[in-house]
Amino acid sequence: MATDGSMLFRRTFQITGSDFQNAGSVSKEIKKTLKQLSIDGELIWRVMIVSYEAEMNVVLYAHECTVTLEISPTAIHLVFDDRGPGIPDVPLAMTEGYSTATREMRERGFGAGLGLPNIKKTCDQLEVTSTVGVGTKLDIRIIIPGVVSKAA
Amino acid sequence: MRLTEIVALLAAEPLVLDEGMDREITSVHASDLISEVLASCSRGALWLTGLLDPQIVNTAELFDLAAVVFVGNRRPSEGILALAREEGIPIVATKLTMFETCGLLYTKGMLPGTRGR
């Protein structure tokens, strides 16, 4: 986690696996927070793509997840650290169209195998680390454009 | 097109309305896959779908979509409508099929609600 002295905001959230009732609620909270901080709408929209994809991945596949949102003057940093089955082959999971979704997931409109590739496409920096049987961690950074970092 | 005009064009039933009814809509995304909407739908698009799931409303709200049209004579549950009222997402339902709905909107000059187009 960054120890940037210019951190404006930091908050953590919890997601529970298979909880379809509350699926999307963490992304909604993040959206509300970004709006309150007067972050640009187009940027919020990009953050929502990333956070909703990641949140649905947890609901669909994992047991539980801690989400950390950090906002600095130059970037939005999201970490999804889950306890779950893990991803045996990360590069394969990053391939568009590859999916291990069940029929039920597909009936709910998910599981097209677009999630991780879409996160990668939408954010500025993505790091995926995963251990089978333990969990997966997504470290995501979105640069806030047009802001030049002031020298400390 | 305004949503009120779209409702008339599709002989649709407006189920949830909000103050955004007069907003101009220029693009349409037709899909039953939420994954696909996340991967390719542009902001402010009208979403046509036959998928009846509360997650439709959450998705529309999170991604700033203009409204949701349920096609093929499908009735969303009261739970879906209540969520849409809470989130301020306009919902309409039409008896027309996905094909007919797309066709009518296309003839009116609506554009694909797809990113990068």
Q: Report chain B (117 residues): mean pLDDT per 10 consecutive residues.
A: 95 88 91 91 95 95 96 96 95 98 98 82
Alpha-carbon distance A55 to nearest alpha carbon in chain B (angstroms): 12
Instruction: Inform me whether the pLDDT recorded for A73 exceeds 60.
Output: yes
From residue A68, give the alpha-carbon distance in Å to each of A14, A23, A57, A116, B29.
9, 17, 16, 18, 32
Tens digits of per-residue pLDDT, A12-51?
Answer: 999 999 999 999 999 999 999 999 999 999 999 999 999 9
Residue of A nearest to B65 (CA): A45
From residue A66, give the alpha-carbon distance in Å to each of A45, A48, A79, A84, A152.
21, 17, 8, 12, 31
Which pLDDT score, from 0 to 100, does residue A98 have? 94
ipTM of this complex: 0.88
Q: Do B38 and A24 touch (CB under 8 A)?
A: no
d(CA B62, CA A46): 10
- A48 in contact with B at a CB cutoff of 8 Å? yes
The pTM assigned to this predicted structure is 0.91
Binned at pLDDT 50, 70 and 90, residue A4 comes out as low
Instruction: Inform me whether the pLDDT recorded for A152 exceeds 50.
Output: no
Q: Do A23 and B55 touch (CB under 8 A)?
A: yes
